[in-house]
Amino acid sequence: EVQLVESGGGLVQPGGSLRLSCAASGFLFSSTWMGWVRQPPGRGLEWVANIKTDGSRTYYLDSVKGRFTFSRDNAKNSVYLQMDSLRVEDTAVYYCVRHGDYTFDYWGQGTLVTVSS
């Protein structure tokens, strides 16, 4: 059974940092692209970032480029999202997602990030 378990969310002040983690199981992690999608409270979905199987390529939403860093550790079946210089508008539930055939075929339960003073 595919499982994606996020952790690391919480309350942070504007300008602060958080590191999200996602532990994956139930599939061949090292052969799978991974991603993050976020959802502000009461609003729609927004793709944030993708990472290639070996971590050699990453893609980011323009509004997070230079502030967020997506990485992975295939030995630990985990991905990480380092979020720096956080803004109020980054407040959202962040979902770890598995890439399927040009889609997101599995989603974690999400972790809430709140940026507020």
Q: How far apart are CA 26 and CA 71, in angstroms?
A: 20
CB-based contact 81:20 (threshold 8 Å): yes
Residue type, 26: G
Nearer to other proteins, 54 or 105 (CB): 105
Segment contacting other proteins (CB under 8 A): 7-15, 19-27, 66-74, 94-102? 94-102
Of 15, 24, 19, 16, nearest in space to 111 by CA: 19
Chosen residue from 45, 58, 74, 82 binding other proteins by CB under 8 A: 45
Chosen residue from 9, 33, 69, 107 binding other proteins by CB under 8 A: 107
> Which residues of this protein are in contact with other proteins, per CB under 8 A?
44-47, 59, 61-62, 95, 100-110
